[in-house]
Amino acid sequence: MKTNRDLAISWLKKADSDLADAKRTVNSEGPYDTACFHAQQCIEKVLKGYLSFRDFAAPKTHDVEELQRLCLEQGFPEELAAIDLTDLTDYAVEFRYDADFWPPVETAEQAILLAEKIRNLVALTLDK
């Protein structure tokens, strides 16, 4: 039977897959909306992994701001509170279908940096 830690690690593995796809895309000629999507997916899965680790049922949502709030309520290090995830939620659904959303590589790079930062915070928490 899987422990909460095992489930969290499974979420992190899926998140790492999204992060790898985001990085591959940003190192290509684009389009970079795909990198933004995969960075958002990475963050979403990492935060759901943390909630699973804390034995909290992760809601079925793409709203990373809501997941951030829940993680903070479940004891996530306060460093997470200082990270602005406002734009990232839209990358999951809304911008995927917005025919006018063609972000520059810099936007995708910033999304990846946020994903890496949050992923590393969760990994440190799981190692304790």
Query: Thinking of the domain 4-127, which architecture would CATH place it in?
Result: Up-down Bundle (1.20)
Handedness of CA 7, 10, 16, 22 (dihedral sign): negative
Per-residue pLDDT in tens (0 to 9) along the chain, 128 residues: 789 989 999 999 999 999 999 999 999 999 999 999 999 999 999 999 999 999 999 899 999 999 999 999 999 888 889 999 988 999 998 878 888 999 999 999 999 999 999 999 988 887 75
| This prediction's pTM | 0.94
- Taking Cα atoms as reference points, which of 55, 18, 65 lies closest to residue 26? 18
- Which contacts (CB < 8 Å, 24+ apart) does range 75-80 have? 76/50, 76/121, 76/125, 77/121, 77/125, 79/121, 80/118, 80/121
